Structure 1
Amino acid sequence: MMMHTKISLRTLVPVLLLTALALVPVYAHLAQQPFYLTLFGRIVIFAIAAVSLDLLIGYGGMVSFGHALFFGLGAYVVGILAYYGVDNGFVHLAVTLALCAVVGVITGLISLRTSGIAFIMITLAFAQMFYFLAVGLKQYGGDDGLSIASGSHFGSLALDDPNVLYYVAFAVLCACLWAGSRIVNARFGMVLRGSRQNDRRMRALGFATLQYKLFAYVISAMVCGVSGMLNANLTHFVSPAYMTWTTSGDLIAMVVLGGLGSLVGPVIGSAAMLTVEELLKGYTDHWMIIFGPLIVVAVLLSRRGLYGLLTDLEVRIARHARAVESKV
């Protein structure tokens, strides 16, 4: 009975969520509410970034407080190339992946030689460095940001079309979840989790944990860069604000709220956080006063996040079933 409940809850909920996200453009068209396409497009894009961060925090134990750096790099690639009239999406994607990989290797080699608070502060410092670099780029808007006249074009697929952009982002999210599950359940993922538990012991067993961590860091950086690229197409605007510590904090909040080390959890956290945020904004300008305590309560209810609540519910259902069977 418990096995059946476990499969039905922990599999059914993510499937229903992804199905609902897939049907958003249809509902937006039927309801003639394009706003929903923008809102849930933002949710999907930030879910991609949160899933990439979960690989670091949830599986590698690396709390990066500068992950927004790569989100901003992806956005600026689209903005700067579009500024020069380059709208080829394949070029945007290639430059984004290459740039995030290079920056990821450089920053990773430095920051991964530390751990704990030192790692957090170094990743934050790198993000702030690039933030001030973007502010200093007066030719590209500086602190005021840069408007994007033309989005990324992948042949006949133009991300200027909100429906095309949404489904491309949704496809990327599904691909990230599939690839992420393969990675974390492979030997690589096992070593990464072992390093999180006891890095010294893993090194004593002969594993080059620094290389594993660096590889995870670079993969996460590249995926987050793609999410930034998609966000630039969604907003048609890029700003240094994308690289601030508050954006990194939002991504961490999504991961923790949804559930660390679950991949699907960050998607749930992104959907919950951005939906509640939008609802509260409709009622009051001081929505943060309400939003903060709500996150605290959600985390206190289950330290494993919203996705972890499913496990708690499964246990309660299993106990209740056993109690009923014992009485019978």
Structure 2
Amino acid sequence: MRREAALNAAILVALIAVPAWAHLSDEPFTITLATRAVILALAAVGLNIALGIGGMVSFGHAVYFGIGGYAMGILASHAQSYTPMELFGLSIEGTKSMLVIWLVAVVLSALAALVIGLLSLRTSGVYFIMITLAFGQMFFFFSISWAAYGGEDGLSIYVRNGFPGLNTLVPIQYFGLCLAILLVVLWFNARLARSPFGLALNAARQSPARAETVGLNPMRLRLVAFVISGAITGLAGALFADLNRFVSPTMFSWQLSGEITVLIIIGGVGRLMGPVAGAVVFVALEHLLGGLTEFWHIYLGAALLLVVLFARGGLVGLIAGRPGGGGGGHG
């Protein structure tokens, strides 16, 4: 436990030190890479609540990532063009306020996760995976056909949205904002895993029948966790869209759902810092190997294969010397 806690602290120190060095060395691109890693880690932390604690293998979490991204894109585009949007006969003004955009992204993602969860959680195993994947594809093709907001070409936002007291156009300040959100969500995740709800959810994951005999409702526990997971992933989508100032249907793609899952597997399923470690490794491989060959995913696949075969607890479990995972590794 102490070894894993020390490793978690080392990961956070590295995540802060590299952008700080890049800022002092005037390397804004490195800061942008670190920001990308932090946002992907946030999305993976959201999925890890469903996967690591609840045992729900969702292959459609890009739905919530995309909803968060499009919430940002649509609101910011209307603020940018000074034209209101029409919704159910109501005229709604756009906004460049991150706080408002985050609230909208979280609420819409949570509502989508509630509806999808009510339908998907009636099944289990491969059927649950396929239903979540089907919802992801539905949203993907809907966004392609949504010509009002760019269709398959996506939607560009030419300004960075604002946060009180910060100049979000400065890379190090936007990184700090994203890192602060990640730290809050990691703290929430750790508290959730140790709370009575988290312990009950873990029990329902291990043995639903035994959980029911002591008066727990596994369906309800999983649904709440699924909604929380979707809301956090939606927030990550809004941050990601603001980072790139661009949204497109690829934010709903099944490939993105797979990438978020891969981040967790590489870092360690059920580990508190597993998603963060996985995101850092993924972005580093993407940057370093992507410059050598466009087929860099081959090396990512090889790394994933090695982790699955020889490090069942992911990189965090391997280094910390605790091979077991699956919800019990929140340290």
TM-score of the superposed pair, with normalisation by structure 2: 0.90
Matched with 1:55 is 49
Task: Report the residue type matching 1:38 in the other structure.
Answer: T
What secondary structure sits across from 2:284 in the alignment?
A: helix
Equivalent of 2:279, from 270, 275, 281?
270
Q: Is the 8 A contact 2:23 2:172 kept in 1?
A: no
1:313 positional shift: 7.5
Task: Report the residue type matching 2:298 in the other structure.
Answer: I
1:190 and 2:199 equivalent? yes
1:261 positional shift: 0.8
Matched with 1:312 is 321
1:232 positional shift: 0.7
Matched with 1:36 is 30
1:205 positional shift: 1.6
The more displaced of 43-52 and 288-297 is: 288-297
What secondary structure sits across from 2:321 in the alignment?
A: helix
1:159 and 2:168 equivalent? yes
1:124 positional shift: 0.8
1:283 positional shift: 1.7
Task: Report the residue type matching 2:186 in the other structure.
Answer: L
Q: Is the 8 A contact 1:160 1:233 kept in 2?
A: no
1:13 and 2:7 equivalent? yes
1:237 positional shift: 0.6
How far apart in 1 are the matches of 2:299 and 2:110? 38
Equivalent of 2:78, from 84, 90, 99?
84
- Of structures 1 and 2, the larger Rg is shown by 1
How far apart in 2 are the matches of 1:219 and 1:290? 33
Q: Is the 8 A contact 1:50 1:252 kept in 2?
A: yes
Q: Is the 8 A contact 2:156 2:246 kept in 1?
A: yes
Task: Report the residue type matching 1:268 in the other structure.
Answer: A
Equivalent of 2:251, from 224, 242, 252?
242
Task: Report the residue type matching 1:112 in the other structure.
Answer: L
1:25 and 2:19 equivalent? yes
Matched with 1:71 is 65
Q: How does 1:201-280 map to 2 (within 5 A)?
A: 201-280=210-289
How far apart in 1 are the matches of 2:211 and 2:169? 47
1:170 positional shift: 0.3
1:283 and 2:296 equivalent? no
1:171 positional shift: 0.6
Task: Report the residue type matching 1:59 in the other structure.
Answer: I
Deviations 1:177-200 (A, max 9, x none): 111010011111111111111112
Q: Is the 8 A contact 2:7 2:320 kept in 1?
A: no
Equivalent of 1:46, from 33, 40, 44?
40
How far apart in 2 are the matches of 1:197 and 1:234? 38
- Give 5+ residue unaligned stretches, structure 2: 80-94, 324-331
Q: Is the 8 A contact 2:154 2:246 kept in 1?
A: yes
Deviations 1:18-38 (A, max 9, x none): 112123332112222111011
What secondary structure sits across from 1:150 in the alignment?
A: coil
1:310 positional shift: 2.5
How far apart in 2 are the matches of 1:313 and 1:210? 30
Count of aligned pairs between the two proteins: 309
How far apart in 2 are the matches of 1:194 and 1:159? 42
How far apart in 1 are the matches of 2:143 and 2:314? 34
1:164 positional shift: 2.0
Looking at secondary structure, tell me which structure has more helix per residue. Answer: 1
How far apart in 1 are the matches of 2:7 and 2:290? 27
What secondary structure sits across from 2:123 in the alignment?
A: coil
User: Structure 1 residues 195 and 313 mapped into 2: Cα distance closer, same or farther (>3 Å)?
Assistant: closer
Percent identical across equivalent pairs? 41
- Give 5+ residue unaligned stretches, structure 1: 1-5, 315-328
1:139 positional shift: 1.6
